């Protein structure tokens, strides 16, 4: 991968979960890393660990991508590096009833999960086309295209990421730029309890982060437009009507977050 994409990769949301696992798996392929998230101390710990294990270089950059100028500052700080691969993974989940959400929080979600991915994609797409190679992995979420009760705004932002990535996949492949959308399936990360779920009580057990990232990188290297890690979730997605999927997800989110009176 280092020969194909270049010596450096940027990973946003790299301090935990899927982003952290991307760091380890890309470092094992001799790619130097720029690690970005809000928690610089955690990033430094991850960076030192992958440096010791795989002999790569790293930079840790604190960036709260919900802030207005954070993306521009992040892009400026890596302008002198030959970055050929970007994992745009920043984002979080904030379940609850839409009518009870504060507008500032809804707009913050759009900033983090729409504008951030837009700016990163536009910036690096131009860079990659100019250099004649490169790759972009955009992280969306399973079910977002169908709508999610009690995460309506969150799902809307992930649906945007999915659509953006699929469109860019077709646009950029003639320039030898790979674009793959990771439609995250339930994965054993800190987001599971944050959404009010208990992993051992979910209808299908979450996959682990290693499987998620391994399948994603495999699909990415083949320049597949979309990947849903975990065979059982691919089957579920293919066979379940969108209306039923919305109801199933709504029931789980309502129950996990103490929302009464839903179905």
The alpha carbon of residue 215 and the mean position of all alpha carbons in its chain are separated, in whole angstroms, by 14
Q: Does residue 118 lie within any of the structural domains?
A: yes
Which string of b and e fits 174-199 if b means at least 16 CB within 10 Å? eeebbbbbbbbbbbbbebbeebbbee
Q: Does residue 60 lie within any of the structural domains?
A: yes
Q: Which residue has the higher pLDDT, 66 or 168?
A: 168
C-beta of residue 9 within 8 angstroms of C-beta of residue 27: no
Instruction: Provide the domain limits for residue 81.
Output: 2-256
Q: Is the pLDDT of residue 145 over 80?
A: yes
What is the C-alpha separation between 150 and 84, in angstroms, rounded?
Answer: 37
Which residue in 116, 113, 104, 47 sits closest to 75, CA to CA?
116
Which residue in 43, 25, 27, 45 sits closest to 35, CA to CA?
43
- DSSP three-state, residue 34: strand
Strands, E assignment, 130-259: 134-141, 177-184, 226-227
What is the C-alpha separation between 183 and 257, in angstroms, rounded?
Answer: 23
HSE (CB half, 13 Å, CA atoms) of 145?
17
CB atoms within 10 A of CB 77: 14
Q: Does residue 165 lie within any of the structural domains?
A: yes
Q: Does residue 57 lie within any of the structural domains?
A: yes
pLDDT at 196: 64
Kindly indicate the confidence band of residue 222, based on its pLDDT and cuts at 50, 70 and 90.
very high
pLDDT at 200: 62
Question: What tokens does 179 get?
Answer: 């674009």
Taking residues 66-79, what's their average pLDDT? 93
Taking residues 210-233, what's their average pLDDT? 96
The CATH code of the domain that includes 91 is 3.40.50.720
Q: Is the pLDDT of residue 202 over 70?
A: no
pLDDT at 17: 93
HSE (CB half, 13 Å, CA atoms) of 207?
20
Q: Does residue 144 lie within any of the structural domains?
A: yes
DSSP state of 39: -
HSE (CB half, 13 Å, CA atoms) of 233?
21
Q: Does residue 261 lie within any of the structural domains?
A: no
C-beta of residue 11 within 8 angstroms of C-beta of residue 33: yes
Kindly indicate the confidence band of residue 256, based on its pLDDT and cuts at 50, 70 and 90.
confident
C-beta of residue 21 within 8 angstroms of C-beta of residue 210: yes
Q: Does residue 263 lie within any of the structural domains?
A: no
Q: Based on the structure, what is the number of domains in the chain?
A: 1
What is the tens place of the pLDDT at every residue in 102-137? 999 999 999 999 999 999 999 999 999 999 999 999
pLDDT at 141: 93
Per the document, the length of the chain is 263
Residues in Cβ contact with 187 at an 8 Å cutoff, skipping those fewer than 6 apart: 17, 18, 206, 207, 208, 209, 212, 229
- pTM here? 0.93
Kindly indicate the confidence band of residue 250, based on its pLDDT and cuts at 50, 70 and 90.
confident
Residues in Cβ contact with 24 at an 8 Å cutoff, skipping those fewer than 6 apart: 50, 53
Which residue in 121, 148, 126 sits closest to 136, CA to CA?
121
pLDDT at 192: 66
Q: Does residue 153 lie within any of the structural domains?
A: yes
């Amino acid at each position: 991968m280092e020969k194909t994409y270049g010596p450096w990769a940027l990973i946003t949301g790299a301090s935990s979960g899927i982003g952290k696992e991307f760091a380890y798996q890309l470092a094992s392929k001799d790619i130097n890393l720029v690690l970005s998230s809000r928690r610089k101390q955690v990033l430094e710990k991850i960076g030192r660990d992958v440096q010791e294990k795989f002999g790569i270089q790293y930079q840790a950059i604190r960036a709260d991508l919900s802030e207005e100028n954070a993306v521009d500052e992040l892009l400026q700080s890596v302008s002198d590096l030959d970055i050929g691969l970007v994992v745009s993974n920043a984002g979080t989940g904030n379940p609850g009833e839409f009518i009870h959400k504060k507008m500032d929080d809804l707009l913050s979600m759009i900033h983090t999960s729409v504008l951030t991915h837009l700016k990163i994609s536009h910036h690096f797409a131009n860079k990659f086309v100019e250099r004649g190679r490169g790759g972009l992995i955009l992280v969306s979420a399973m079910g977002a295209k169908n709508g999610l009760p009690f995460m309506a705004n969150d799902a809307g932002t992930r649906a945007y990421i999915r659509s953006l990535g699929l469109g860019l996949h077709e646009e950029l492949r003639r320039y030898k730029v790979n674009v793959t959308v990771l439609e995250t399936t339930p994965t054993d990360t800190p987001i599971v309890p944050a959404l009010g779920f208990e992993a051992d009580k979910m209808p299908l057990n979450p996959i682990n982060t290693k499987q998620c990232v391994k399948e994603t990188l495999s699909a990415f290297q083949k320049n597949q437009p979309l990947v849903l890690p975990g065979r059982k979730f691919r089957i579920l997605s293919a066979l379940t009507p969108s209306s039923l999927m919305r109801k199933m997800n709504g029931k789980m989110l309502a129950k996990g977050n103490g929302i009464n009176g839903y179905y």
